[in-house]
Amino acid sequence: MATGDPIAVTLLEWTSYQALKTASLSGDFQLRDGNRIYANQCFRTLGLNGPLGTEWLSMIIVNGLPTPLSLAGSWLDNTEQTNYPAESDLVGSWVEPRTGESAPGQSGDSLQPDTIPGSRPHPTKPGSTLYGAGAYGFDFRVGSNYGAIKFSCGQKNSPLGISWHIGNSRSGVTADTSAYHDLETFYKQTADVKTVGYDESADVSIRANMTVYGLDDLLKDGEVYRESYALIVAVWPKGQL
């Protein structure tokens, strides 16, 4: 676990949280100016960029639960994990305002890797809430990309499950992995044969949507990106709008 390069987790206000929940249904969402963008584009500044010239899956997970999502297991039979979500104590560059002197950023250690924060009260806006979001990246092996992962969420039910099969562009979710013998079984009964876009348990709802992007960008040497994919996943308390 925690393999590849870290991608910083982030906290979203209500409008952005709802927009990403909508993206887990449609794959993209509308900006205030009317333009539509893919959800993965919001994470590019945090390091969510696929290998140039390769097919690649970015998995965006938005967490509306009051508890963190923590990776509890994975079955990666035909893919290589390239990125994982993490809080970090990375210290950025800064400028001393009195002297104008600058200092370079210093590398820090990842804090709570493979953990996507839960919702919490906004520290400066009374009555408002912040919601956690994070991302994973998975590279292709031999022309395809498929696997499954699961997350514990601090609720009474078993871990949540997410599966995917790129090539057939299918994905699956379950709010309770105890319904399956293991993650390989979960994969074979969902993304390997059908799309399961929504599920819920007594406490939790989970939804996912697969989209394709990255067909038009040109590299410096003139080559074109191959197809890349984004799997947008939203988790929230059952009954929440």
Spatial CA neighbour of 86 closest among 35, 33, 48: 48
Residue-wise over 133-166: b if at least 16 C-beta within 10 A, else e?
bbbbbbbbeeeebbbbbbbbbebebbbbbbbbbb
In this prediction, residue 154 carries a pLDDT of: 80
In this prediction, residue 218 carries a pLDDT of: 45
Q: Render each residue's pLDDT in the chain as its tens digit; 241 residues.
A: 677 777 888 898 998 888 888 878 765 566 566 666 665 666 665 556 655 545 678 899 999 999 999 999 999 987 888 888 987 655 444 444 455 555 544 445 557 789 999 999 998 899 999 999 999 988 877 667 899 999 999 866 789 999 999 878 899 999 999 999 999 999 999 999 999 999 999 899 999 998 876 544 444 455 554 567 888 999 999 988 7
In this prediction, residue 120 carries a pLDDT of: 93
SS3 percent helix, strand, coil of the chain, rounded to 5, is: 15, 45, 40
Full-model pTM: 0.82
Cα–Cα dist 54/38, whole Å: 18
> Is 159 in contact with 173 (CB distance < 8 Å)?
no
Cα–Cα dist 231/241, whole Å: 21
> Is 229 in contact with 211 (CB distance < 8 Å)?
yes
In this prediction, residue 10 carries a pLDDT of: 87
Query: In sequence order, what are the beta bridge partners of 79?
Result: 140
Cα–Cα dist 226/120, whole Å: 39
Q: How many CB atoms lie within 10 A of CB 102?
A: 9
Structural domains in the chain plus CATH codes:
5-237 (2.60.270.50)
